[in-house]
Amino acid sequence: MRDNGQAGRMAADESDSQPQVTLAEFLREACREELARALLLLTDPEGDRDKAVHESRKSVRRVRAWLRLGDRHRRKALQPVDAQLRALRRTIGPLRDGYSRIEALDRLRKRKDVAPLRTPLAAARQKLADALERRWELRPRHGRAWKGLLSGLAKLLDGIGDWPLQGLTEAEARRALRRSHRRACAGRRACAGIRGAVRRHAWRGRVRILLLQTQLLQQRALVPENPPLKRLAQSLGNENDLALVSRVLGGLGLPARVCLGLRAMVQQQRRELAKRNDARAALLLKAKLAPRLR
């Protein structure tokens, strides 16, 4: 009778003898799953349309970030694919941005220090909801833009087997991940002490790319988890939401005095959050802390 130890060793040997999926095929399948998920959500007539747009936009962002896990020549070869992904974003982006404004205003309305302003803020929220509805009227699910979106997604899925990913190596992915880290570090230095929303939004994009690439390679057990990076990306998102609220307040029909006071409060919160984000990033985004594949 074979003992358990021997059986375990034989099972391990059999597992080791099985061919492992290459990094290229792992990446290809991950992209396929994200785009298929987006198509499923966007074609569901019974689903929440705003949630479908939000989740689909995240899927497109993931795929775009993952396709940068290659060298310069591979990224150049993938430019047509990236152009198709950007075209999808142009359709769903305005719809998601409209709902983001509502979400940001809702978070603001929950604060205790704005309790006296909840009535005018409720009216302002309705104006944002009306504006979003008008955006949907321009992009109805039976319209040309929406059908083009679904067609574009389906076309990407059909052609994913031809994407030039073959030959992708861990060394190539390592160099790409370190490049993303350097870009995030450069963004941190450029934004240190600066509160300009446009520049900080661009930096946030670099941090998000680094996070998405790291999360993908975690699934492959090539890099360790990095919770501080995720918290930084989320906090930069909160900071951007405050900038978004501040930007749209003037067009919401609030009384001038209410608008000025509310904008001052929002801008103060954003400055404080930006300062904390700078401090977090200074500890996390350093050249010597560039991620290394295991």
Predicted confidence (pLDDT) at residue 91 exceeds the cutoff of 70? yes
Predicted confidence (pLDDT) at residue 14 exceeds the cutoff of 50? no
User: CA-based angle 121:125:131, to the nearest 5?
Assistant: 145
- The token duo for 96 is 């998601």
Predicted confidence (pLDDT) at residue 18 exceeds the cutoff of 50? no
Name the DSSP class of 215.
H
Predicted confidence (pLDDT) at residue 145 exceeds the cutoff of 90? no
CB 225 within 8 A of CB 210: no
Predicted confidence (pLDDT) at residue 12 exceeds the cutoff of 60? no
pLDDT at 11: 44
Residue type, 219: Q
- Alpha carbon separation from 180 to 66, 118, 183, 209, 231 (Å, rounded): 11, 42, 5, 7, 17
Predicted confidence (pLDDT) at residue 183 exceeds the cutoff of 90? yes
Predicted confidence (pLDDT) at residue 43 exceeds the cutoff of 70? yes
Core vs surface per residue 32-44: b (16+ CB within 10 A) or e? bebbbebbebbee
Predicted confidence (pLDDT) at residue 168 exceeds the cutoff of 50? yes
Q: What is the pLDDT of residues 226-262, one digit of tens each?
A: 999 999 999 999 999 889 888 888 888 888 888 888 8
Domain ranges of the chain: 22-123+135-164, 169-294
User: 2: pLDDT confidence band, cut at 50, 70 and 90?
Assistant: very low
Q: Which of 195, 208, 264 is nearest to 235 (CA)?
A: 208
pLDDT at 150: 93
Q: Rounded to whole angstroms, how far apart are CA atoms 115 and 136? A: 31
- Alpha carbon separation from 172 to 56, 212, 225 (Å, rounded): 28, 17, 20
User: 294: pLDDT confidence band, cut at 50, 70 and 90?
Assistant: low
Residue bearing the bigger pLDDT, 254 or 58: 58
Q: Rounded to whole angstroms, how far apart are CA atoms 98 and 103? A: 9
Predicted confidence (pLDDT) at residue 1 exceeds the cutoff of 50? no
SS3 238: helix
Question: In the predicted model, what is the mean pLDDT of the chain?
Answer: 89
pLDDT at 36: 97
User: 174: pLDDT confidence band, cut at 50, 70 and 90?
Assistant: very high
pLDDT at 105: 85
